[in-house]
Structure 1
Amino acid sequence: MSEEKLYAVKTDEGEFLSFSDDGDSVWNKAVGHFETDKQKARSWAYNRGGHVVTLIEEPEKVVLSKEQAEIVDYAHGFYLPAMHISRNSDEDEELLINAYVNGYTVANEKRYMVELDGLVTTDGAKQYLTKKDGKWFACRRMPGMHQDFTDKELNKAPEWAQQLDRKEVTDDEQ
């Protein structure tokens, strides 16, 4: 975000001071003239009416984990939001305060598929670790089957499955 500010002259009706090609001033709802010199903008406001407004860039949203987002969400309803964030964060307090003020997005959690080396169907298709109804089994890649797992999910898998190599799933594989 740029530290340099931009100023414009605006009326109470929402029109911005603008200049035509011949230098005459006009009021326009869609376009205005922006100035880096606040004194010049004040002079225009004094001579042509209106008031000076400061235009700022929208700050970038912070990217948070799901757990961090829950802390920030709860802080919005908390009596002392900064205290809630401070008490519930480790070293990322400043990040969470920025997210509280400027907004945030939640990072997509990495997902993995686990190919079961050496296991193939009778027609030669590779088999992958799959889970359905609390049961773990081998199955070819099939839409609608739970075959992409988070680290958290794989850590709850049977011990033999936790030992297998994981391949990160890209967006085009999901």
Structure 2
Amino acid sequence: MSEEKLYAVKTDEGEFLSFSDDGDSVWNKAVGHFEMDKQKARSWAYNRGGHVVTLIEEPKKVVLSKKQAGIVEKARLSDIPATYISGRTDAYNGEESLLMNAYVNGYTAAKEKKYLVELCGLVTTDGAKQYLTKKNGKWFACRRMPGMHQDFTNEELNKAPEWAQQLDREEVTDDGIR
């Protein structure tokens, strides 16, 4: 976040001081003139009415894992949120301050990585590659098909049969395989 501030002159009715091309002042609900010099803004407010307001940048939201987001959400229900967060994080690796920041300024949850598991050497009769697939609790081989569950999280693959857990995984991105 920038340390520079912008100032504007605003009325109690929510209109901002603005200037037309010829230098005349006008009041406008949608647009205002912003100034980096607070003294100049104070002078405008004194001469034209209104009061000085400071415009600040919205803090950037931090990206949290699913587990970290859960801690922040549960802290919102706690009587002492900071204590709740500090009791569930490691202050030495910076996680505590990251979650405190997320509690105050907001956060976005990180997308969980997904993996595709090619079954090397296994092809259909027409030569299409086969991939690990799961449907109705059953694991099987299938060509790449939309609507089939073939992109797995690490957690899902760790629950797969032991033989499937030992296969190579390729990370899948939104636009295909990495």
Following TM superposition, by how much is the alpha carbon of 1:40 offset from its aligned partner in structure 2, in angstroms? 1.6
Name the structure 1 match of 2:47: 47
What runs of 5+ residues in structure 2 fail to find an aligned partner?
Answer: none
SS in 2 for 1:88: coil
- Aligned equivalents of 2:75 and 2:44: distance in 1? 43
One-letter code of the match for 1:146? Answer: H
Alignment of structure 1 residues 70-81 onto 2, 5 Å: 70-81=70-81
Taking structure 2 as the reference length, the TM-score comes to: 0.92
TM-score of the two chains, using structure 1 as the length reference:
0.94
Tell me what 1:132 maps to: 135
Q: SS at 1:22's partner residue? A: coil
Deviation at 1:21, TM superposition (A): 2.0
Q: CA deviation at 1:13?
A: 0.7
Q: How does 1:74-153 map to 2 (within 5 A)?
A: 74-90=74-90, 91=93, 92-153=95-156
SS of equivalent to 2:104? helix
**What is the Cα deviation at residue 34 of structure 1?**
0.8
* Residue 60 (structure 1) aligned with residue 41 (structure 2): no
Where 2:71 maps in the other structure, the secondary structure is: helix
CA distance in 1, matches of 2:37, 2:76: 37
Counterpart among 159, 164, 168 of residue 161 in structure 1 = 164
Runs of 4+ in 1 over 6 A off after TM superposition: none
Uncovered stretches (5+) of structure 1, i.e. residues with no partner: none
1:53-75 CA-to-partner distances (Å, cap 9, x unmatched) read 00011111111111111111111
Query: Following the alignment from structure 1 to structure 2, what is the Cα–Cα distance between the partners of residues 142 and 20?
Result: 60
Q: Distance in 2 between matches of 1:54 and 1:76?
A: 29
Q: String of CA shifts for 1:68-127, please: whole Å, max 9, x gaps.
A: 111111111211111111111223011111111111111111100000001011221111
* Number of aligned residue pairs: 174
